[in-house]
Amino acid sequence: MDNEHDLKGVARPRFGWALTGSGHFFKESLEIMRTLPNLDVFVSKAAAEVIRMYKQDFDLASDVRIFKDTTASSAPVGAFYYGVYHTLIVAPATSNTVAKCVAGISDNLATNVFAQAGKTRVPTIVFACDTAPVMDTEAPKGMVKVYPRRIDLECTERLKTFDDTTVVETVEDLQAAVDARLKALNISKITSTS
Ligand SMILES: Cc1cc2nc3c(=O)[nH]c(=O)nc-3n(C[C@H](O)[C@H](O)[C@H](O)COP(=O)(O)O)c2cc1C
């Protein structure tokens, strides 16, 4: 588990960003992620696969820390207890991750950071994917139609009732929510990762 010693030399407080295995707005979420300074990225196992399927690279600044889902206990989440994060963003969030978060399940890295952010009262933004009965979404080989189930839509609605949690449903609203956090914290975006 991360402790004070592991965090020596790491600028803080930081943004935490959990990336899950959703193709829906995966690339757009990465673009917004790349503009954030002092960032830690938590990558679900499915996200690590999906990023390859969409032929994407993280392409992040050199000081960004990337945590992959390799431990049963989700060891990196320990940092939440040391006040390392001022904000958590879960984007894009699969229907699987949203359902688990709503049910209070924390059995992998993405659901654990969401749970620990809640337990440490870190404001969280979740970009839910399943938000309408019919949606156009980007598959690796092009656009396809999907029909989220009633349970998927219900989970998104239930997540909106969680404390300290802002649920967004469009890229524009994700950008606006991130911008609002930057403004509240008086932090400037980064304009280039090179
Ligand atoms: C190419 C590809 C695209 C996917 N896109 C979505 C998506 O848009 N929304 C979704 O809920 N699941 C999507 N999935 C399925 C999830 O990756 C799968 O449910 C996975 O178990 C989610 O794990 P996670 O929530 O831990 O990241 C996609 C899977 C693949 C292979």
Are 100 and 156 contacting, i.e. CB atoms less than 8 angstroms apart?
Answer: no
pLDDT tens, residue by residue, 10-34: 888 999 999 999 988 999 999 999 9
Domains of the chain: 14-185 (3.40.50.1950)
- Give residue ranges with CB within 6 A of ligand 1: 20-24, 44, 46-47, 50, 53, 94-97, 108, 110, 129, 137, 140
Rg (CA), the chain: 16
For 1-32, give the DSSP string. Answer: ---TTTTTT--SSEEEEEE-S--TTHHHHHHH
Closest CA to 131 of 168, 171, 165: 168
Query: Distance (Å, rounded) from C-alpha 13 to C-alpha 160?
Result: 25
Split at pLDDT 50, 70, 90, the class of 1 is: very low
Distance 67 CA to ligand 1 centre (A): 19
Residue 6 has pLDDT above 70, yes or no: no
Query: Please, which pLDDT band fits residue 119 given cuts at 50, 70 and 90?
Result: very high
| Dist CA 98 CA 105 (whole Å) | 10
Mean pLDDT, all residues of the chain: 92
